[in-house]
């Protein structure tokens, strides 16, 4: 898909990998709407991009529907969606305190997997109304994690949620293929965003020592580069692309 002139929604775009992606999309000529939490820097980021900000909690089903409708109306259409919102907690299946709290597991799946699917189904609906360009109406990019494949001790809920995001990419791409809408997931390793950007260099080196090259945390711009490459290339569809410098997580 040609990026120039397209309309993009970036969820989680107030910071980190999503912010870098929103900036890169704008540089390539796309109009951008930012969706993020009300207390985020979303308004400032959107203003710097000549875009719009739509505050939302991704676990609020009705709020997400309204925010996406407002964003699409402000943009005039929706061709590109990048979704990065998520998070997790460290809890073992069993610990000295007993079994993993079910509400914590459920909440992690809700925040990562269910919220992502809710965004996707609504984004696809808006994209389905576009006139096709070379048969293509839209591109959806979701964010998984290499934890989906090598989850560490204490990551059982996060692993389940991120594996779900990776796993649904192909099925959703098949569901939406007749509409010309592509779906691709990105599975990053450790990236320097948010709280991880404050990790001391020596600790970061220990966390990434098993990477092939480079032995460092990823940079937000490197996620953005992959996201734009996915948008550019119509043959990238239905997969989950690892973005990890050849790193494989050890058990802990």
Catalogue the active-site residues. 158
Smallest Cα–Cα separation from 249: which of 165, 120, 149, 106?
149
Distance CA 166, CA 148 (A): 7
- Per the CB < 8 A criterion, the answer to whether 46 and 11 are in contact is no
CA neighbours closer than 13 Å in the CB half-sphere of residue 84: 28
Angle between helices 61-75 and 115-127 (to 10 degrees): 30
Exposed/middle/buried for residue 94 (C-beta within 10 Å: 0-12, 13-18, 19+): exposed
The secondary structure element, H or E, covering residue 112 is: none
SS3 label, residue 134: coil
Q: What is the DSSP string of 39-82?
A: TSSHHHHHHHTT-EEEE--TT-HHHHHHHHHHHHHHHSS--EEE
CA distance 252 to 250: 5
Helix (H, G, I), strand (E, B) or coil at 138: strand
- β pairing state of 31-36 and 80-83: unpaired
Alpha-carbon gap, residue 203 to 150, rounded angstroms: 20
* H helix count then E strand count, the chain: 9, 9
């Amino acid at each position: 898909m040609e990026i120039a002139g397209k309309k993009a929604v970036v969820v989680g775009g107030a910071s980190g990998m999503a912010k870098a992606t929103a900036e890169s999309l704008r540089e390539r000529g796309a109009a951008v709407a930012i969706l993020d939490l009300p207390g985020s820097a979303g308004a400032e980021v959107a203003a710097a991009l000549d875009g719009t900000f739509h505050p939302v909690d991704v676990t609020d089903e009705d709020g997400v529907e309204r925010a996406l409708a407002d964003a699409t109306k402000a943009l005039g259409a929706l061709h590109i969606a990048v979704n990065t919102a998520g998070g997790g907690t460290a809890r073992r299946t069993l610990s000295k305190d007993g079994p993993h709290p079910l509400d914590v597991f459920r909440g992690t799946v809700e925040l990562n997997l269910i919220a992502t699917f809710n965004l996707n189904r609504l984004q696809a609906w808006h994209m389905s109304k576009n006139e096709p360009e070379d048969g293509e109406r839209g591109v959806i990019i979701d964010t998984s994690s290499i934890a989906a494949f090598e989850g560490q001790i204490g990551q059982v809920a996060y692993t389940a949620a991120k594996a779900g995001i990776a796993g649904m990419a192909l099925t959703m791409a098949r569901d939406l293929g007749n509409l010309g809408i592509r779906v691709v997931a990105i599975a990053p390793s450790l990236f320097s965003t948010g709280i991880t950007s404050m990790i001391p260099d020596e600790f970061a080196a220990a966390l990434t020592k098993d990477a092939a090259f480079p032995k460092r945390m990823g940079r937000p711009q490197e996620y953005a580069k992959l996201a734009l490459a996915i948008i550019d290339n119509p043959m990238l569809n239905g997969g989950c692309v690892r973005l990890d410098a050849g790193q494989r997580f050890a058990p802990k």
